[in-house]
Amino acid sequence: MYIVDSKTMHRLDEQLIKQQRVSSLDLMKRAASGVKDYIDEHHTKLVRILIVCGVGNNGGDGFALASLLKEDGYVNVTLFTLANENQLTSDARFYALRCAQLNIPCFHQLHELEGLLKNSEQCVDALFGTGLSRGIHGDYAQVIHQINASKLPCISIDMPSGIHSDTGACMGCAIHADVTISFACYKQGQLLGEGRRYCGHLKIVDIGIPHEMIAKEEHAILLTEDKTRQLLPKRFEQSHKGSYGKVLAIGGSRSMHGAITLCAKAMLRSGVGTLTLFVPKSIGMLLAMKLEECMLIEADDENGMFAQGALSLLKEKIGDYDLIVIGNGMGRTKASEALVAYVLQQDTPCILDADALWSCAKYRELIKRRQAPLIVTPHPKEFSYLTSKSTAEIKADPFKAVREFTSCYPNVTLVYKDYVSIIATDKKCYVNCIGNNALAKGGSGDVLCGIISGLYAQSKQAIEAAGAGVYVHAKCADELLQVKMQTVFYQVISSLPYPRYIKLYANAYTLYMFPTNH
């Protein structure tokens, strides 16, 4: 499924009107029909529906919806708008007049809204759509507050009114929607910031924009299980360890030997062919006991971290690898900076993670000059080292920060890690929205780095390995959470003094509520 910003969506609407000879009125009717289909699925024609409309095309969608409902036999449709007829856009005015012809009641006074909400069973929010760019104040803020206070089930058309469609920011106040029905594509703001929470359940409605038309515009693709299956590397019956990549992982220190261990284990479980660890001598024996499958190169260390002599050894041993992974648990020292700089100057594909990203603030020109594939995996703070932007700026509009970065570094694949992860190059962009807060712990990033590394070693495709790795990592967290919930529920039921037949029913209910796919 495609993800676009508001400008792209506006261009798509215009192209559909011009190239497909679809009138703007018909496009508005298509949008309204999509919302009506949802209402048809969930309500009878006796339901009391209040549609709250603004002055623009989003309001026009609301007026069009009211007319379609009335024409189809819905008997309790009511409109509320603060606008008079002269304030409406031409298309919105057309459908507002159609509603008047159908004798649909329309109220305009703010003091009437509370009573209308009390007398309704379903609210439809058609106040502001994707074009909102300034804060909401005054009477419109009062309308939003009253709708939220009513606790009525609310359907928002395209965007919850008050949410910025590009950043997900709340523009003063916003509708808490139970369902948001979006047209043609996901909007960035539905997945980011407060938008994700305010949208409720997201449903995409087809309004006839061809997929080829969307694909030509700047867009991102939402990662799904089906999409991820397409990105995963293929393994063949007639193959050997050399078929699946030869990786050198540089990292670790006495105080953070777990980071390189987690990364290595994830790499091995993700299918890498052979893995060599380049680590400080002080942790060599420890890793040898924990990671029997790995080969080891032990470098000079100082206080448990790489010493300056480690660079000379790396130059001797760097060899013929398919991928170099650097950063996990190696600390921040002059020696580690030198190792990162040397790796960046090689023609070998590379993944920079963790402490290696800290070093990159000094080596942006090396990154820009690289021709070999490079994957970087920053969280927002680490991304600030690469961009000169503050963490707050990045989190305020991550899509913008990602686009600016990838346009400057065309040979880099960026994995921006947050509650919504963005995986991008200057040509492709994937977005991951699954996962849960169980991943908010030390070591999660090292495991992700290992998964991506293992997949890249097999496929030699950077954006594909990164996208699939992020989704698989998040999916594992969701699967494990389901298993944990099922186990806890079962233990609670089993401990209670219920008759046997009730426990059997509870066990069946557990499997139904918490299914797992092993």
What is the Cα 479 distance to its own chain's centre?
18
User: Is 208 marked within a binding site?
Assistant: no
Q: Could you tell me which residues come within 8 angstroms of residue 317 by beta carbon, excluding any fewer than 6 positions away?
A: 278, 297
Instruction: Judge whether 282 is annotated as a binding position.
Output: no
Quick one: DSSP state of residue 473?
H
CA 429 to chain centre: 11
Q: Which two tokens stand for residue 406?
A: 């990838």
User: Contact 324/348 with Cβ under 8 angstroms?
Assistant: yes
125 is in an annotated binding site: yes
Size (the chain), residues: 518
CA 148 – CA 168 distance, rounded (Å): 18
C-alpha to C-alpha distance for 92 and 486, rounded to whole angstroms: 50
Question: Is 419 known to sit in a ligand binding site?
Answer: yes
Q: Is 132 annotated as a binding residue?
A: yes
Which residues pair with residue 247 across a beta bridge? 275, 323
Distances from the Cα of 342 to the Cα of 278, 313, 347, 363, 367, angstroms: 14, 12, 11, 10, 11
Are 7 and 130 spatial neighbours (Cβ–Cβ below 8 Å)? no
Q: From CA 206, how far away is CA 190, in angstroms rounded?
A: 17
H/E element holding 165? Answer: none
Answer yes or no: is 501 a known binding residue: no
Q: Which residues pair with 221 in a beta bridge?
A: 2, 430
Closest CA to 131 of 189, 179, 184, 172: 189
> Is residue 206 marked as binding?
no
**If residue 432 lies in a helix (H) or strand (E), which one and from where to where?**
strand 429-432
Query: Strands 323-326 and 350-352, how do they pair?
Result: parallel
What one-letter code names the amino acid at 254?
R
154: three-class secondary structure by DSSP:
strand
Annotated ligand binding at 74? The verdict is no
Find out whether 418 is annotated in a ligand binding site: yes
| Cα(152)–Cα(133) distance, integer angstroms | 26
Q: How far is CA 317 from the centre of its chain?
A: 39
Would the annotation count 59 as a binding residue? yes
**Residue showing tokens 């502001």:** 128
Q: Could you give the 3-state DSSP secondary structure of residue 268?
A: helix
Residue 44 marked ligand-binding: no
CA end-to-end span of the chain: 26
CA–CA gap between residue 33 and residue 65 (Å, rounded): 7
Question: Does residue 457 contact residue 272 with C-beta atoms inside 8 Å?
Answer: yes
Q: Is 158 annotated as a binding residue?
A: yes
Q: Do the annotations mark residue 40 as ligand-binding?
A: no
- The verdict on whether residue 379 carries a ligand-binding annotation is yes
Question: Of 100, 99, 24, 35, which Cα lies nearest the Cα of 67?
Answer: 99
Known binding site for (6S)-NADPHX: residues? 57-61, 129-135, 140, 158, 259, 329, 379, 446
Known binding site: residues? 57-61, 125, 129-135, 140, 158, 161, 259, 329, 379, 417-421, 445-446
Known binding site for AMP: residues? 417-421, 445
Known binding site for K(+): residues? 58, 125, 161
